[in-house]
Structure 1
């Protein structure tokens, strides 16, 4: 950041402002996504952050870096949104078929997938020495969902401290509180996420785009397209689960997953399935399309994201949001 560029931006030069902030745009988007769990809300908060930065640039004293100043604005905008509106829940979709009784009802129904193609636009940066998580883990669906179970300020402290590596003093300054408060919030947030971390054991996941991950993903796609329930079950761990946001339905265990998949296949009838591979949250994913008998066009039926372990698939998240295809550069229809 040059003094000349900053002064030009302060005097209303929009191009200078974009040159100042564009290097941080994508990572701020991911930050808002971590805080909110929703790609739609993250996009709104990113725009609010940049607008607030534009309007408040005259007050940027330069004591902290521009990056830290932008993170301060983004974090507090997210906290304001959560405080003012409460956790906004999307309407529960009306299924086209009668699903079996779920074994669980999820409470993070606003969770949305994050396209890997957007992650690739983030410049490589080294987090501060306080960072306590691997970069991949901090964008996986399980981690994002875990953050949503924390009180918002605890989530903010943990992300700023353990994901981005800001010091306790820096985080206290960003949130307008004291280091003592930050330490207490961080201790509680870590204890909660550590329990979830042990349960999901991220070390047991297959490496992204490894031969094992590719093999299990391919075999799953083949079985799903063929309607081979037994073939799908052989690929799952005994405690595998299937979740379907924004519906709260969750199915835990092979028998429950088999019941849901069988119900879907029965409802599908003679219609075909096409799966287009993509990636979400560093995990293998497939855009799902249904084709009517005798037709060549397929119409979107959600996005399947796989949580792949070292030996079997541990989870399936079937996102039913209508706006998935354009976000993942997937076609509206297939031919």
Structure 2
């Protein structure tokens, strides 16, 4: 079957190890084959090509965590990307870490990982949800968004941040989002968000901060937080060792919460929100599997607004 896979690892030139070609379809006992109709890219895929979480002895490894497709009974499904894994120190792994990923014509998955896709959600939209959008949904839940009036999202443009901003707007919150790129600020504003430059003073302190950037924005996140606010962290794309003024943390009684992925039930709830038209995934661009190298280059260049979809 046709697939986009890691054939070599390179920390400095990760895309040099990306190959599109034929690999045999394999499936652990008891898993279900899914014909993939759409998949989407995440920065996790580029980190894999760098060798982070993917050792050389597992190559070749089909990349991709997210997919929507059709099971053997003809049911349209979305694949939950987390697999229980006793061999992993975390107790779980994502597709493309220990088991072949989603950027292929076919995928094997545990049956319990298959979530019904509502009829009102396209395969492309559904493929955007399992990692970035689910992470954003879980972050908002962890941060008790229901109790928040105003939300700050750092680094809008990427998959998680854009999803968090769109979801918070759909929940009726006042949303501020930062981006260095004027074009991205214009696009995020079109979603009903107040877009600002990084480090800009906000007209109010916020109750919830969605933080996926890290060291470059964390001081700003602290300064924008209202008393009792929650700062929810899911990533560190711009440094993982911020300087934290602990005086502000205890004086303002702030909560700093870590967050990673979400649950199958949350993915099902997110799908229902999309099916109801409450929110729609933001798709940056769509590529065929044969143009996966172009899709990866676009993601690596950082010019993305929303999700990149691959349609086998």
What range describes the TM-score normalised by the shorter chain of this pair? under 0.3
**Could you say which structure has the larger radius of gyration?**
1
Structure having the larger proportion of residues in strand: 2
TM (norm. structure 2) is 0.26
